[in-house]
């Protein structure tokens, strides 16, 4: 048996993804825009979404029509093309597809995310690197994905404490498939960047890039919040050297930071983004100013912090708009929690979110959702993005500001230049919801239709021919 101890800190978090790569359940083929021929020429059928309130990722537009041409947005506003299929969006709001900027995912997770209007997931530890996601890229029945691969961490460092002890008979990650875990060839090209010195970290950066990591993640965690104090942790020199090498190669860097001290270390090293918000103490002017001055973005993952404090997502699970899309395993997961830091204060976390926002720090919506297990509870793919939006508004952001944090801001910060906005020429990754989430954020859960690359996900949308 390939044990968690031998694989190291991050493999288990991605176990579902690697199994899915080999055992992907059958899904519907991607929907392609039909083509017709007129006068000897091939003409693409177009779709016009009309009578919509349009939030373009930054603001609400005066225009109420968006025209799609296959997988991309043809134009915003203007007349309805002759022969176009028409979707009447009266009473609804059209938004860019949502982006979850912190996940650990699988084929099932990507399918579930799309059902909730999340068209892109950003994996922060896992297997969906560049050459391992072809089955996702071309499948419009699931969210698109980018990945860090595996994060730089010391041997025995985070997240090994989440996976059990070192007993080879009991430390296999619970979502790993026995056959996949035994398949040495499958793991042969996976880079596991365990580092204890600057030289080791620097040497791993080009290997991660070559193996298809879209960005580089550093684990800075002494185990305080996870109930495992004394974990091996990257020192400042190793973080700084690794970040510098990544930047030399033009790679974005992010850090796992759940404490103020870890946050300070990451910021001092020149990290581009913090994919957690500290929860071990209230914010201070000093740490807020340091983050703001560095230009780093923050993915607060408030839903994760709540779960770490033992607060399950009970209200979210009770929402019929959520329950209708989740199976029993995911419902049980939502109703449970990590419960590793019960002494934490959610009010302090929310106050830190507001302070960072007021200081001009870019905030991104992320959840740290992973797999349907009660020990990883409080989150579900797709659904928890809507929960996070609600929590950001509770913290003091306006609905418009929260929506930007799930669309244009993550697209800009992760250089996803083809999405995150409703603009001519960009991907037709779109979400149509009943109501007005620019005024009432909970309306994002009123999903009427989702498009990934122009392919509608749900049957029954109001359509007619122009």
| Segments making up each domain of the chain, as ranges | 4-34+96-423
d(CA 195, CA 149): 15
Nearest partner of 330 among 12, 120, 126, 116, judged by Cα: 116
CA distances from 352 to 32, 33, 304, 312 (A): 45, 46, 15, 21
Residue 244: HSE in the Cβ half-sphere, 13 Å Cα cutoff: 11
**CATH tag for 4-34+96-423 (out of 3.40.190.10, 3.20.20.140, 3.30.70.270, 3.40.50.10710):** 3.20.20.140
| Span 31-87, pLDDT tens digits | 444 444 333 333 457 999 999 999 999 999 999 999 999 999 999 999 999 999 999
| Structure-token pair, residue 223 | 């185990």
Digitized pLDDT (tens) for each residue of the chain, 466 residues in all: 222 222 223 333 333 333 333 333 333 433 444 444 333 333 457 999 999 999 999 999 999 999 999 999 999 999 999 999 999 999 999 999 999 999 999 999 999 999 999 999 999 999 999 999 999 999 999 999 999 999 999 999 999 887 754 333 334 444 445 555 556 667 778 999 999 999 999 999 999 999 999 999 999 999 999 989 999 999 999 999 999 999 999 999 999 999 999 999 999 999 999 999 999 999 999 999 999 999 999 999 999 999 999 999 999 999 999 999 999 999 999 999 999 999 999 999 999 999 999 999 999 999 999 999 999 999 999 999 999 999 999 999 999 999 999 999 999 999 999 999 999 999 999 999 999 999 999 999 999 999 999 999 999 655 556 5
d(CA 145, CA 141): 13
Q: Whole-structure pTM over 0.95, yes or no?
A: no
| Span 363-378, pLDDT tens digits | 999 999 999 999 999 9
* Residue 345 burial (10 A CB sphere; 0-12, 13-18, 19+): middle
Through-space distance between the first and last CA atoms of the chain, rounded to whole angstroms: 60
């Amino acid at each position: 048996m390939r044990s968690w101890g031998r694989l190291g800190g991050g493999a288990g978090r991605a176990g579902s993804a690697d199994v899915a790569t080999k055992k992907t359940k059958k899904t519907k083929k991607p929907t392609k825009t039909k083509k017709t021929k007129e006068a000897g020429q091939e003409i693409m059928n177009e779709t016009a979404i009309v009578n919509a309130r349009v939030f373009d990722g930054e603001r609400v537009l005066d225009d109420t029509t968006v025209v799609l041409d296959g997988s991309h947005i043809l134009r915003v506003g203007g007349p309805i093309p002759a022969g176009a299929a028409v979707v009447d969006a009266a009473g609804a709001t059209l938004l860019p597809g949502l982006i979850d900027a912190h996940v650990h995912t699988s084929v099932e997770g990507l399918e579930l995310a799309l059902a909730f209007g999340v068209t892109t997931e950003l994996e922060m530890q896992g297997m969906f690197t560049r050459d391992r996601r072809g089955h996702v890229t071309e499948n419009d029945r699931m969210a698109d994905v980018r990945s860090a691969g595996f994060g730089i961490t010391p041997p025995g460092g985070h997240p090994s404490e989440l996976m059990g002890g070192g007993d080879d008979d009991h430390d296999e990650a619970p979502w790993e498939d026995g056959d996949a875990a035994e398949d040495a060839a499958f793991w042969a090209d996976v880079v596991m960047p365990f580092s204890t010195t600057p030289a080791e970290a620097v040497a791993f950066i080009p290997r991660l890039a070559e193996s298809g990591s879209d960005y580089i993640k550093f684990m800075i965690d002494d185990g305080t919040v996870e109930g495992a104090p004394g974990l091996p942790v990257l020192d400042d020199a190793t973080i700084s050297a690794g970040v510098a090498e990544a930047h030399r190669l033009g790679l974005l860097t992010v850090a796992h930071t759940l404490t103020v001290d870890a946050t300070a270390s990451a910021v001092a090293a020149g990290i581009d983004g913090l994919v957690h918000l500290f929860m071990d103490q209230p914010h201070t002017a000093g740490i807020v100013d340091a983050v703001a001055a560095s230009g780093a973005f923050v993915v607060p993952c408030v839903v994760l912090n709540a779960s770490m404090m033992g607060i399950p997502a009970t209200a979210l699970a009770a929402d019929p708009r959520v329950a209708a899309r989740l199976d029993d395993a995911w419902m049980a997961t939502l109703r449970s929690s990590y419960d590793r830091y019960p002494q934490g204060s959610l009010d302090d976390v929310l106050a830190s979110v507001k302070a960072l926002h007021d200081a001009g720090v870019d905030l991104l919506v992320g959840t740290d959702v992973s797999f349907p297990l009660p020990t990883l509870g409080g989150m579900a793919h797709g659904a928890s993005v809507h929960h996070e939006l609600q929590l950001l508004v509770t913290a003091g952001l306006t609905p418009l500001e929260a929506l930007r944090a799930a669309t244009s801001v993550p697209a800009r910060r992760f250089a996803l230049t083809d999405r995150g906005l409703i603009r001519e020429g960009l991907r037709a990754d779109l979400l149509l919801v009943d109501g007005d989430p620019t005024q009432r954020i909970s309306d994002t859960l009123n999903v009427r239709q989702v498009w990934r690359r122009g392919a509608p996900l749900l049957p029954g949308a109001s359509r007619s021919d122009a």
